[in-house]
Amino acid sequence: MKRSVVVSGARGTRRFSLRLAVVLFFAVLAVIIVTPTLSNYLERQAELRDAKAELESVQQHNEDLERELQLWQDDDYVRAQARQRLGYVMPGQTLYVVTDPNEGTAREKLDERVQTANRERRAATPWFVTLWDSVTMAGEVAGSGVDNPNNTPLIEPTEATESEAASTPSQATTQPSGESADPGSE
């Protein structure tokens, strides 16, 4: 005697064997049980890959720092860096710095860096702050000077007096071409 499940619908009645229903039930149950476990396993594998990649990156950075530390143990390397980066010379030597007039003066380079930093800082502010600044400035009278209503920090270039400029001989000297005259640019 065969057992079956009878399903009646608008198209008529259909018969399904009870075995088929049990097999389908256990197949669906197996998928429900295995899916979260498989998903969890795949997530852990991705985390493991990420952790291994980060470990490799950190180890490479550590090796680079060890190599740099070994370089700084050498007195000749320290002297070369002092000459190149800071413009130091040995007693009795004269430092000549050649600048390219097409690159602009130190003041122009400083102003350009200040403007770039201010643009980047302004671009990093959230959109809603920029929107509110725009609404606030639109309500102001023209020429009232409101340019930064939320007081977003801006970098202002410092003005060097003539006595300060004369007292800093490193700015008045020149470097060989290919090297930057500004020690902070490296």
* Per-chain mean pLDDT for the chain: 79
* pLDDT higher than threshold 90 for residue 140: no
Phi, psi of 17 (to 5 degrees): -70, 150
Is 88 or 46 the better-scoring residue by pLDDT? Answer: 46
The model's pTM is: 0.38
Answer yes or no: are the C-beta atoms of 74 and 150 closer than 8 Å.
Answer: no
pLDDT of residue 35: 94
The token pair at 72 is: 């700084």
pLDDT digits (tens, 9 = 90+) for 47-96: 999 999 999 999 999 999 999 999 999 999 999 999 888 888 889 988 88
Burial 67-105 (b: 16+ CB within 10 A, else e): eeeeeeeeeeeeeeeeeeeebeeeeeeeeebebeeeeee
In angstroms, rounded to a whole number, what is the distance separating the alpha carbons of residues 170 and 95? 9
Mean pLDDT for 15-23 is 84
pLDDT digits (tens, 9 = 90+) for 159-185: 655 544 444 444 444 444 444 444 444
Answer yes or no: are the C-beta atoms of 111 and 157 closer than 8 Å.
Answer: yes
Select the highest-mean-pLDDT range: 41-45, 88-92, 125-129, 158-162. 41-45
Nearest to 151 by CA among 174, 183, 129: 129
